[in-house]
Amino acid sequence: MTRLRAMSLSVIVVLIGPLAVASAHAQEIWLAPNDAVDRREVFKPDAPWKNAAAHTQVFKFYANKAFNGPAQEEVDAVVAEMNRRGIAIALEAGVMNVGTVQPPGCGGWGSVEGYGPVAMHEVIAKKIKKAGGVVKYIAMDEPLWYGHYFKGGTPRFPHRGCQSSIGEIASLVAPSLTVYIREFPGIIIGDIEPSNALANQPDWQRDLTAWATEFRAAVGRPLAFLQLDAAWAEPQAAAHARLVYQFAQQHRELLGKIGIIYNGNPNDPSDAAWVQSAREHVLLMERDFGLHPDQAIFQSWHPHPTHTLPETSPDTLTSLVDFYVARKSGH
């Protein structure tokens, strides 16, 4: 944890204000590996990521892959290891319910990202609960983008988006989220949105505000966090991420904590290149732009890195956690 020294807290508050003091403290560190070749090794007690694990507060799982398909025995082992290490479980999940409000032929589980049937979430929640686990966080998979803005119908994205109203999106996410609220009453629910795509929409500030407002009305609780997914390889990616970050910072009463997903680029040719890109993105946002996100999320859905372990290798995902911790502590 980064600590402020040399001046008393009261003097600091006078000089730079209470918000700046709060944002200068250390963030939560989240880890979310891809389908790496050693993905199961992470959940062994002697797995070589001792230092990274000690500094990781939250492990974010792709909900459908991690808990819907696997047998209960595999879920039991994963949950037991997270409990042993004291690392909270988060699920990244498509929660827009399938087959309710959206017109036929658009959206839907397996067709457009961000959707998922209530029955799937029932299975996931019950498996984790049976294993003795608690889902502490739900990170919704870009419902504003995929539910409201996304058009589709292109060679790259052939399935059509529904472009539902923001109110309809809120009604679509409520049934799936109700499953987790029922099973895990203390659950914390937040959102992931693509900062590049969002900032390119003419009325994104108004829409993001409306989404947070409609969400609260439909679910009965405010958004607890907003995680920014920056498409780093695109032009103006960092500038757009900073723009959305600054807006979220000014509207914390609606959007809660702010997270930045740190990863490499989809076309990076090797693990080394991907990890180096991710390090550069950390430095750009936090050193050069001076941002202090509440959540630093080290995540991949790209082909790289192919290994999560060991943390002592400079080309693995867990090595990024060690890099971040060392940078924050000045080592």
pLDDT greater than 80 at residue 1: no
* Average pLDDT of the chain to the nearest whole number: 91
Inform me whether the pLDDT recorded for 21 exceeds 70: no
* 36-92 residue pLDDT tens: 999 999 999 999 999 999 999 999 999 999 999 999 999 999 999 999 999 999 999
Residue 139 backbone class (left: φ over 0; alpha: ψ -120 to 50; beta: rest): beta
How would CATH label the architecture of 28-329? Alpha-Beta Barrel (3.20)
Helix pair 166-183, 118-130: axis angle to 10 deg: 20
pLDDT band at 14 (very low <50, low <70, confident <90, very high): very low
Q: Is residue 322 over pLDDT 50? A: yes
Average pLDDT estimate for 227-241: 96
pLDDT (0 to 100) of residue 156: 87
pLDDT surpassing 50 at residue 203: yes
Check if the beta carbon of residue 1 is closer than 8 Å to that of residue 26: yes
Q: Domain residue spans in the chain?
A: 28-329
Residue 12's pLDDT band (boundaries 50, 70, 90)? very low
Tokens of 190: 């937040």
Note the pLDDT of residue 105. 80
Cis preceding linkage at 310, omega within 30 = yes
Q: State pLDDT tens for residues 90-144.
A: 999 999 998 655 567 888 888 999 999 999 999 999 999 999 999 999 999 999 9
Query: pLDDT tens for residues 166-198?
Result: 999 999 999 999 999 999 999 999 999 999 999
